Amino acid sequence: MNQIIKSQDNTTVENQHHQYEQDSYQSLIDGNINWVNNRVKEDPEFFTRLAKGQSPEVLWIGCSDSRVPANEVTGTQPGEIFVHRNIANMCVHTDMNMLSVLDYAVNVLKVKHVIVAGHYGCGGVAAALTNKQFGLIDNWLRNIKDVYRLHSHELDRITDEKAKVNRLVELNVTEQVYNLCKTTIVQNAWNDGRELSVHGWIIDLSSGLVKDLKVSSNAAHHLGYVYQVEELQVVETH
């Protein structure tokens, strides 16, 4: 009898869990309907304009963390920011996903600003400061560990763990800004005389406010010589 009761209890728990999952999923559908209705009520032509295309002036490269959505953080509307997100807002020169987004944003959309946006308390950065194994993501976190290696002389002097993570968050964003500036995509745009700036931001989740790290760049002169890409020469054939 006890086994039967236990089985019934497990079934009840499973049903409740399934119902919760269904309710959670359905809330997304309901939320979409409410969003559409509110938008149309405020601006009947909103979706008509949205469907015609996009012309954002900003590319946002941010963290995948669910608490830092680009439009909400900046108070902007759909169509105003082109967005790419990954774990710990990384700009890795072998990441074809990021490079494809960057190329499209710079050369097709002609954005004027690229913002690398990190956030304090980033779980990816915190994980990179340990020697634990997490799985496939370890290969991704290696890039953050390399940032730590570059700045270990400073970071090793910080005894408070939270402060150390947050400082590495800042240094990581700074290094990702440099990584973007080293790409041929960005430098070719500069060589062509295009208006393009790369910036580094930190979002403070405790206040919602953005901190500009003051590492913005609109030219390659601050990079080492070997990172400065020569201007492409067009060879005419006859």
Please write the tens of the pLDDT for every residue from 209-218: 999 999 999 9
Nearest in space to 140 (alpha carbons), one of 98, 194, 86, 100 = 86
Q: What is the pLDDT of residue 231?
A: 81
DSSP symbol at 129: T
pLDDT in tens, 13-65: 566 666 667 788 999 999 999 999 999 999 999 999 999 999 999 999 999 99
Query: What is the model's pLDDT at position 11?
Result: 60
Distances (CA, A) of 163 to 62, 119, 191: 21, 13, 39
What is the reported pLDDT for 235? 59
pLDDT at residue number 237: 63
Question: What confidence score (pLDDT) does residue 99 get?
Answer: 99
> In angstroms, rounded to a whole number, what is the distance separating the alpha carbons of residues 234 and 229?
15
Which stretches of the chain drop beneath a pLDDT of 50? 1-7
Residues annotated as part of the active site = 63, 65, 67, 119, 122
Residue numbers belonging to the annotated binding site = 63, 65, 119, 122
Binding-site annotation: residue ranges for Zn(2+) = 63, 65, 119, 122
Greatest C-alpha distance within the chain: 92
Looking up tokens 């097709």, which residue turns up? 108
